[in-house]
Amino acid sequence: MKHLPLSILLPRFMLLPLLLLAAAAFPGGARADEAPLPPLRPDQVTFLALYKELVETNTSLSVGSCTLAAERMAAHLKAAGFADADITLFSVPEHPREGGLVAVLHGTSAKAKPMLLLGHLDVVEAKRSDWTRDPFTFIEENGNFYGRGVADMKAMDAIWVDMLSRFKARGYHPKRSIKLALTCGEETTHAFNGAEWLAKNHPDWVAAAFALNEGGGGRTDGHGKLLVENMQVGEKAVQNYSFETVNAGGHSSIPIRENAIYELADALGKLRDHEFPVKFTDTTRAFFAKAGAARGDALGAAMVALAKNPDDAAAEAIVSKDRSYHSMLRTTCVATLLEGGHANNALPQHAAANVNCRIFPGETVQGTRATLEAVIGDPGVKVTLIPPIRPLAMPPPLDPKVMGPAEKLVAKYFPGVPLVPSMSTGATDGIYLEAIGIPVYGVPGEWADPDGNGVHGLNERLAVRAVYTARDFLTELVKQYADGG
């Protein structure tokens, strides 16, 4: 997921407290529903056709094809003047429909390292019978675009392709090279992941000083007021573990204490009661300090105190009452699936649970497993990593060369709206690039409502104004990065 505005990337329960914070701290805000948009410029008409084509190219894992979408995007780049040598279409024989593309617009400086625009082409499954509209028909209605992927994340994909096409066609020569990687597999755990494949097999194709990705973006109050824009600076790593217990079983009429289900239940009870220690990155420390100071209440004071002293137990107890802040402060692990037994008149021979962990940046999957084993304290409970095994989450720096241009453009495009750095408790494909030393930032620009805009659910939408505004915003932002230091 995890790709789109932060309001979509974050779990739904995280939105309300952050929205309330923004409303209290920044009551002015900017309107996301201003006067009707003017007639489309010719360049916007061209972009809209590309966006429509991409949304209507089904890229779901079951019946779609990222490979086809990549080929269609490559055709736009070639039509704009990109040479064949500057576009690479890739796939693997085992997953022929899960391909992607890498392209490069060459810069003029041999010293300036390239920058990378990252996006995933795949989308979550969508059943026509469940939707009000055909999920793979691009529809504009009531000020919104509708369709699977319009927000997650084909708007940004289309912006990247359209941007490079315009740059090439207009003869723009950036100082640093601008690379583009569109991949598949982000939305499905066991799918072929193109970003991971590139990082492992062709890191030179995507080598860059930094990358821009989904994960940032704005949030409204649900009534047209834009409250905040976020730059995602870091994320947790997602890792699943299996807890398993086994027993000889037997007839249920003669029960014994050595019961696989009871043993597993005891282990899960210990997991429930365990708290991982408080941790901070530069991003989360800045977030809690800035957001806390803006609140002016007891929770805000506790947030500031905790940012100053992570060992302040009293402050931690207050802050952790908020579910979203609790998760931002530490690794979390929670039981999500359960199975056990084989007959209603037999003692269980086997019981198992899936435990989903969101691992704080800098902590390892192996270290987290060791902690889980220590918490359980029972060698009869087998703790196993469930593939895929994610790399270590590496927080990128709060680099003023990245944050500064974004802050200035947010002030220009969204007067009165702050840009706040945030760490996602979810995950994106950025984690694979960070593992090979490429800092990844989830950019602002788009925005979403508190209900999540139907992402991963029904009737996915994105405001028309948000798309066109983000297109102009991101074009200017990329040019500043490309021509800057």
Q: Is residue 300 part of a domain?
A: no
Domain span at 353:
237-276+331-386
Q: pTM of the predicted model, to two decimals?
A: 0.89
What is the model's pLDDT at position 91?
A: 97
The residue among 317, 352, 386 that closes a domain is 386
Same domain, 72 and 170: yes
Q: Is residue 282 part of a domain?
A: no
Q: Which residue has the tokens 């009551």?
A: 27
Produce one character per residue of 48-71: b if its CB has 16 or more CB atoms within 10 Å, e if not.
bebbbbbbbbbbbbeebbbbebbe
Same domain, 90 and 141: yes
What is the model's pLDDT at position 485?
A: 60
* Nearest in space to 164 (alpha carbons), one of 178, 183, 181, 150: 178
What is the model's pLDDT at position 32?
A: 72
- In the chain, the N- to C-terminal Cα span, in Å, equals 31
Which CATH number is 194's domain given?
A: 3.40.630.10
Same domain, 375 and 399: no
Q: Is residue 379 part of a domain?
A: yes
> Tokens standing for 134?
């055909």
What is the model's pLDDT at position 295?
A: 84
d(CA 56, CA 274): 46
Same domain, 20 and 80: yes
Same domain, 187 and 253: no
The alpha helices in 207-350, defined as continuous H runs, are 260-273, 282-295, 298-308, 313-319, 323-328
d(CA 391, CA 403): 25
Q: Is residue 246 part of a domain?
A: yes
Q: Is residue 105 part of a domain?
A: yes
Q: Is residue 290 part of a domain?
A: no
Q: Is residue 368 part of a domain?
A: yes
What is the model's pLDDT at position 43?
A: 97
How is 150-204 classified by DSSP, letter by letter? Answer: TTTTHHHHHHHHHHHHHHHHTT---SS-EEEEEES-SS-TTS--HHHHHHHH-HH
Same domain, 12 and 140: yes
Q: Is residue 153 part of a domain?
A: yes
355 alpha carbon, distance to own chain's centre: 20
What is the model's pLDDT at position 29?
A: 58
The residue among 351, 386, 421 that closes a domain is 386
Q: How many domains does the chain divide into?
A: 2
Same domain, 252 and 187: no
The residue among 349, 364, 386 that closes a domain is 386
Same domain, 243 and 266: yes
Which CATH number is 335's domain given?
A: 3.30.70.360
Same domain, 348 and 456: no
Same domain, 229 and 365: no
What is the model's pLDDT at position 7?
A: 39
Same domain, 123 and 247: no
What is the model's pLDDT at position 4?
A: 38
- Give residues with Cβ within 8 angstroms of 464, minimum separation 6: 37, 140, 143, 144, 145
What is the model's pLDDT at position 294?
A: 80
pLDDT tens digits, one per residue of 20-79: 444 444 444 576 767 788 999 999 999 999 999 999 999 999 999 999 999 999 999 999
d(CA 33, CA 48): 20
What is the model's pLDDT at position 214?
A: 96
Same domain, 17 and 108: yes
Three-state DSSP class for residue 390: coil
Virtual torsion, Cα 443, 16, 33, 28, nearest 10 deg: -90
Q: Which residues in the chain land under pLDDT 50?
A: 1-28
Contact 158, 51 (CB under 8 A): yes
